[in-house]
C-alpha cells in the first residue's frame, strides 16, 4: 500500500493526446481506399514493377504468371534425376487412383487418366508449389458424382452425364480462377479446419460404404449416398453376394492396408504403399485373366480404347434445363478442391521452407480445370496422398508432374488394353485404402478438449454427410462455422482486470490469480473491435459489471466505486455505432457520478474518436496511453479533491 501511495504522489498529468500528430489531411475517401487496398491487395506483387525498365517488367510479369520461368533457367540434370524418380513413383499411384476415382464420379475410367495427364502439365507451368501432385481426388469425385446423379442417371444417359461433368468442371475452373484474379481467397477460409475434418471423415465413411457394392459383388445397388440407404441396399441384396469377389476384395484390401501401415510406421519405406495399388492392379489382372474370373462372378473393367480422344470442347452443355445443376456442382466441387489443393501445397511448402502464393495457386488450379474441361477431364486439384509420395520420393520441382503426365500418356497410348481383365473389386479396395486416412479421430478428440463449438461443427458435418447428404452436411457445417463467427462478433469477451503485484502490468483477474483489484476502480478489458453488431451488448455488459462492482463493494465495505477504466488495447477497430455506444455509456456513468476513461486506444480508433463528437465529450483528461497511467492520474485527482 505504501508503494501505491508513493507512486500516486508522483502521478503524471493527464496525457495530452490531442497534441499527438494525427493525419488530419487524410480524407475519408482516401482512408477507405487505403483500407480496401489492405484487404484485397495487401500482397499485390505489382509494386515490384515500379521503376523497372520495360524489358525488366516483361520478365517480372512472366515470372509471376508463369513460375516455371523463375526456376527453369537454373534447372540441372541432377534436379531432373530427382524429379524423374518422384514422377514415375507418383505415376504408379496416379494410374490406378485415376481409374478408381473416375468410377467414384460415375465416369468412364479413361476420364480419370485424362485428368491425371492434362492438368498436371498446366499446373507445372502455372503453379507455385514444387511438391503438389495434381490429379483427381476422392472428395471432389464423390461430390460431383452424387450431385449429378441426383438429376441424371449415368447408366441411362451416359453422354448427357459426361457433358454435365465437363461443364461443371468448366464452371469450377472459372470460379477458382476468378477468386484468384480478384484476390478473394478468403472465401474458402469459411471452410474451417474443424468443418473439413468432419466433412472429409463423413465423406470417407460414405465412400467406403459405397465400395461394398464392388467388394461383395452386388449387381443392383442404391443410387443414394446416405448411410441408411447404402446399408439397407447391402443387406437387401444378400443373395447377390459373391464369395469369389469377397475373398479377392478383402485379400487385396488387407494387403493395401498393410502396406499403408508399413509406410506410416517407416517413412523411408514410402514406396511400399505408393507401389502397392499398381502392384495390386497388375497381380489381380493376371489372376483374373489366368482363371477367367469374369466367368466366376467377378466383374471386370472390360474393353478400354487406347489412344487420345479429340477435345471435349464441343461437349460442354449450356442449355437452360441443366445449366443451374452444372453451375452448382462446379462451385461446390471447386471450393472443395481449391481448399484441399491450397492446404496441401502450403503444408509441404512449410516443410521445405518456401512460400506458396494462395492467389496464384487459385488461378493455376482454376485455369487447369478450365483447360481440363475442354480436354476430357473432370475436376482436379492437389492430392494429399500423391503429394506425400511426391515429397518423400525427393521431388525438387514441378517437373515431377510432367514426368507423371508423360507416364500416364504412355499408358493411354499403349497399355490401355491390358486393363481389360482388371477386376472392379480392386478399384473398390484402392478407393477404401485412399480415403480411410481422411478419418481423423485424434483431431476430433483434440477439438473436444480445446473448443466445444469447433467440435460441434466437426461432428455436425460428419453426421450431416452420413445421414442427410454430402451437400447438406457441408452446408450445415459451414452454417455452424458462420454462427460461431457471429457469436464472437456479437458477443465479444470482456474481462475484469487487476494489477499484478510488483509490476506495472494489468491482467485479467480470472486468468491471473495474483492480480488484485484497485480500490475505487473497475478496470474492464474489451477484447474485440466495437461494431454496430456488438456495441449495445458491450454497453449493457459494462453497466452490468458496474452494478455488480457496486454491490460487491457495498457488501465488503470497500471504497466506493469512482472510476471505470476501459482497456482499449485489443480494440483494433470501431465504427460510428461503437462511438455512439461509448458516448452513451459516458453520459450514463456521469449521471452516477462515475468517471469513464479510455486507456491505450490504437491509432485507427484514436483517429476516429478525434474526428467525432466523442473527442469533445471525453476530452484529453479521459484518454490515456496505458491502464497504469489512467489509474495513477485519476487517483491523484481523487486525492486532490479530498
Domain termination residue (choose one: 460, 485, 510): 485
The pTM score is 0.77
Q: Is the pLDDT of residue 23 over 70?
A: no
CA nearest neighbour of 527 among 575, 566, 565: 566
The pLDDT tens digits of the residues spanning 259-268 come to 999 988 888 8
Q: Is 502 left (phi over 0), alpha (psi -120 to 50) or beta?
A: left
Cβ atoms 497, 525 nearer than 8 A: yes
User: How many CB atoms lie under 10 A from the CB of residue 232?
Assistant: 13
The pLDDT tens digits of the residues spanning 535-555 come to 999 999 999 999 998 888 888
The pLDDT tens digits of the residues spanning 80-129 come to 999 999 999 999 989 999 999 999 899 999 999 999 999 999 999 998 89
Q: Is 8 within a domain?
A: no
- Tell me, yes or no, whether 514 and 478 share the same domain: no
Average pLDDT for 290-296:
84
At 521 the three-state DSSP class reads strand
**Enclosing H/E stretch for 595:** strand 595-599
User: How many CB atoms lie under 10 A from the CB of residue 502?
Assistant: 8
- Binning pLDDT at 50, 70 and 90, where does residue 50 land? low
Average pLDDT for 345-370:
88
Cβ atoms 42, 53 nearer than 8 A: no
- Binning pLDDT at 50, 70 and 90, where does residue 165 land? very high
- Tell me, yes or no, whether 502 and 471 share the same domain: no
Higher-confidence residue of 166 and 297: namely 166
Cβ atoms 129, 384 nearer than 8 A: no
- Tell me, yes or no, whether 590 and 538 share the same domain: yes
**Predicted local confidence at residue 612, as pLDDT:** 82
Q: What is the CATH number of the domain that holds 623?
A: 3.30.750.24
CA nearest neighbour of 95 among 391, 435, 430, 379: 430
The residue length of the chain stands at 642
Average pLDDT for 21-47:
48
Q: Is 583 within a domain?
A: yes
- Binning pLDDT at 50, 70 and 90, where does residue 37 land? low
Q: Is the pLDDT of residue 53 over 80?
A: no
- Tell me, yes or no, whether 415 and 496 share the same domain: no
Distance, CA of 402 to CA of 122 (rounded, Å): 9
Domain termination residue (choose one: 453, 485, 517): 485
- Binning pLDDT at 50, 70 and 90, where does residue 4 land? very low
Distance, CA of 386 to CA of 397 (rounded, Å): 15
- Tell me, yes or no, whether 520 and 608 share the same domain: yes
- Tell me, yes or no, whether 597 and 476 share the same domain: no
- Tell me, yes or no, whether 247 and 150 share the same domain: yes
Distance, CA of 164 to CA of 322 (rounded, Å): 8
- Tell me, yes or no, whether 416 and 343 share the same domain: yes
Domain termination residue (choose one: 456, 485, 514): 485
Share of the chain above pLDDT 90, in %: 38
**Predicted local confidence at residue 642, as pLDDT:** 57
Q: Which residues of 583-603 are buried (b: 16+ CB within 10 A; e: fewer)?
A: bebbeebeeeebbbbbbbbee
Distance, CA of 246 to CA of 237 (rounded, Å): 14
Q: Is 286 within a domain?
A: yes
User: How many CB atoms lie under 10 A from the CB of residue 553?
Assistant: 17
Question: Which residues, in sequence order, are CB contacts of 420 under 8 Å at separation 6+?
Answer: 300, 301, 302, 303, 304
Alpha helices in 266-352 (DSSP H): 270-290, 323-352
User: How many CB atoms lie under 10 A from the CB of residue 512?
Assistant: 15
Average pLDDT for 189-212:
85
Indicate the burial class of 184 (C-beta count within 10 angstroms; 0-12, 13-18, 19 or more): middle
Distance, CA of 430 to CA of 540 (rounded, Å): 59
Q: Is the dihedral of CA 567, 571, 573, 578 positive or negative?
A: negative
Cβ atoms 275, 92 nearer than 8 A: yes
What is the crossing angle of helices 270-290 and 77-104, to 10°? 50
Pairing of strands 381-382, 134-135: antiparallel
Q: Is 60 within a domain?
A: no
The percent helix, strand, coil of the chain (3-state, each to 5) is: 65, 5, 25
Higher-confidence residue of 200 and 408: namely 408
Q: Which residue has the cell 485415376?
A: 98
Q: Is 321 within a domain?
A: yes
Q: What is the number of domains present in the chain?
A: 2
Q: Is 3 within a domain?
A: no
Q: Is the pLDDT of residue 255 over 70?
A: yes
Q: Is the pLDDT of residue 284 over 50?
A: yes
DSSP assigned state of 530: B
- Tell me, yes or no, whether 319 and 193 share the same domain: yes
Distance, CA of 82 to CA of 395 (rounded, Å): 6
**Predicted local confidence at residue 485, as pLDDT:** 83
User: How many CB atoms lie under 10 A from the CB of residue 62?
Assistant: 13
- Tell me, yes or no, whether 473 and 524 share the same domain: no
- Tell me, yes or no, whether 407 and 303 share the same domain: yes
- Tell me, yes or no, whether 585 and 455 share the same domain: no
Distance, CA of 49 to CA of 521 (rounded, Å): 55
CA nearest neighbour of 317 among 163, 106, 152, 156: 163
Q: Is 322 within a domain?
A: yes
Cβ atoms 191, 213 nearer than 8 A: no
Average pLDDT for 616-633:
84
Domain around 604: 492-640
Higher-confidence residue of 244 and 11: namely 244
Stretch among 152-161, 368-377, 433-442 having the lowest mean pLDDT: 433-442
Distance, CA of 200 to CA of 330 (rounded, Å): 18
CA nearest neighbour of 335 among 184, 511, 519: 184
Where in 463-527 does DSSP place strands (E)?
494-499, 506-508, 521-526
Stretch among 48-57, 237-246, 507-516, 605-614 having the lowest mean pLDDT: 48-57
Question: Which residues, in sequence order, are CB contacts of 358 under 8 Å at separation 6+?
Answer: 180, 185, 342, 346
For the ranges 138-142, 172-176, 242-246, 395-399, the one whose mean pLDDT is highest: 172-176
CA nearest neighbour of 233 among 207, 209, 253: 209
Q: Is 67 within a domain?
A: no
**Predicted local confidence at residue 2, as pLDDT:** 40
Amino acid at each position: 500500500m505504501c508503494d501505491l501511495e508513493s507512486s500516486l504522489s508522483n502521478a503524471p498529468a493527464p496525457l495530452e493526446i490531442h497534441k499527438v500528430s494525427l493525419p488530419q489531411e487524410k480524407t475519408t475517401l482516401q482512408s477507405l481506399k487505403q483500407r480496401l487496398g489492405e484487404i484485397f491487395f495487401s500482397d499485390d506483387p505489382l509494386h515490384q514493377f515500379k521503376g523497372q525498365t520495360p524489358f525488366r517488367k516483361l520478365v517480372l510479369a512472366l515470372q509471376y504468371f508463369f513460375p516455371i520461368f523463375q526456376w527453369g533457367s537454373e534447372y540441372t540434370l541432377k534436379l531432373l534425376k530427382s524429379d524423374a524418380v518422384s514422377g514415375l513413383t507418383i505415376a504408379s499411384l496416379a494410374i490406378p487412383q485415376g481409374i478408381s476415382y473416375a468410377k467414384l464420379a460415375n465416369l468412364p475410367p479413361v476420364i480419370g487418366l485424362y485428368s491425371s495427364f492434362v492438368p498436371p502439365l498446366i499446373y507445372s507451368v502455372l503453379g507455385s508449389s514444387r511438391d503438389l501432385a495434381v490429379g483427381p481426388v476422392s472428395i471432389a469425385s464423390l461430390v460431383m458424382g452424387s450431385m449429378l446423379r441426383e438429376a441424371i442417371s449415368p447408366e441411362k444417359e451416359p453422354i448427357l452425364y459426361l457433358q454435365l461433368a465437363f461443364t461443371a468442371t468448366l464452371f469450377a475452373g472459372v470460379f477458382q480462377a476468378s477468386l484468384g484474379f480478384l484476390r478473394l481467397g478468403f472465401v474458402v477460409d469459411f471452410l474451417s479446419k474443424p468443418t473439413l475434418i468432419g466433412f472429409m471423415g463423413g465423406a470417407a465413411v460414405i465412400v467406403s460404404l459405397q465400395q461394398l457394392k464392388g467388394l461383395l459383388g452386388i449387381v443392383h445397388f442404391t443410387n443414394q449416398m446416405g448411410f441408411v440407404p447404402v446399408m439397407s441396399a447391402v443387406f437387401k441384396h444378400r443373395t447377390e453376394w459373391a464369395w469369389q469377389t469377397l475373398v479377392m476384395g478383402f485379400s487385396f484390401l488387407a494387403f493395401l492396408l498393410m502396406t499403408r501401415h508399413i509406410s506410416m510406421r517407416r517413412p523411408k519405406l514410402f514406396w511400399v504403399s505408393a507401389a502397392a495399388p499398381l502392384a495390386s492392379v497388375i497381380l489381380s489382372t493376371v489372376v483374373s485373366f489366368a482363371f477367367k474370373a469374369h466367368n466366376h462372378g467377378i466383374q471386370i473393367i472390360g474393353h478400354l480404347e487406347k489412344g487420345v480422344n479429340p477435345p471435349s470442347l464441343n461437349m460442354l452443355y449450356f442449355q437452360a434445363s441443366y445449366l443451374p445443376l452444372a453451375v452448382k456442382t462446379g462451385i461446390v466441387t471447386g471450393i472443395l478442391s481449391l481448399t484441399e489443393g491450397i492446404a496441401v501445397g502450403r503444408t509441404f511448402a512449410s516443410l521445405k521452407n518456401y512460400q506458396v502464393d494462395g492467389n496464384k495457386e487459385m488461378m493455376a488450379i482454376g485455369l487447369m480445370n478450365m483447360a481440363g474441361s475442354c480436354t476430357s477431364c473432370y475436376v482436379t486439384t492437389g492430392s494429399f496422398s500423391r503429394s506425400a509420395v511426391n515429397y518423400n520420393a525427393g521431388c525438387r520441382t514441378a517437373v515431377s508432374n510432367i514426368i507423371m503426365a508423360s507416364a500416364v500418356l504412355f499408358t493411354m497410348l499403349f497399355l490401355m488394353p491390358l486393363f481389360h481383365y482388371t477386376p472392379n473389386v480392386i478399384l473398390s479396395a484402392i478407393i477404401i485404402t485412399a480415403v480411410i486416412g481422411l478419418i481423423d479421430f485424434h483431431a476430433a478428440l483434440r477439438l473436444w478438449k480445446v473448443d466445444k463449438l469447433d467440435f460441434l461443427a466437426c461432428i455436425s458435418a460428419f453426421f450431416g454427410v452420413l445421414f442427410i447428404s454430402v451437400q447438406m452436411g457441408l452446408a450445415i457445417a459451414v452454417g455452424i462455422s458462420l454462427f460461431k463467427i457471429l457469436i464472437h462478433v456479437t458477443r465479444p469477451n470482456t474481462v475484469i482486470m487487476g494489477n499484478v503485484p510488483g509490476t506495472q502490468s494489468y491482467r485479467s483477474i480470472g486468468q491471473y490469480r495474483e492480480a488484485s483489484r484497485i480500490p475505487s476502480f473497475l478496470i474492464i478489458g474489451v477484447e474485440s473491435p466495437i461494431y454496430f453488431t456488438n456495441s449495445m451488448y458491450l454497453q449493457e455488459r459494462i453497466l452490468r459489471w458496474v452494478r455488480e462492482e457496486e454491490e460487491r463493494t457495498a457488501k465488503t465495505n470497500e471504497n466506493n466505486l469512482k472510476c471505470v477504466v476501459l482497456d482499449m488495447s485489443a480494440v483494433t477497430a470501431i465504427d460510428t455505432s461503437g462511438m455512439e455506444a461509448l458516448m452513451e455509456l459516458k453520459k450514463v456513468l456521469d449521471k452516477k457520478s462515475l468517471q469513464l476513461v479510455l486507456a491505450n486506444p490504437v491509432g485507427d480508433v484514436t483517429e476516429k474518436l478525434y474526428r467525432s463528437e466523442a473527442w469533445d465529450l471525453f476530452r484529453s483528461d479521459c484518454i490515456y496511453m496505458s491502464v497504469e497511467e489512467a489509474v495513477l492520474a485519476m487517483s491523484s485527482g481523487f486525492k486532490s479533491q479530498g
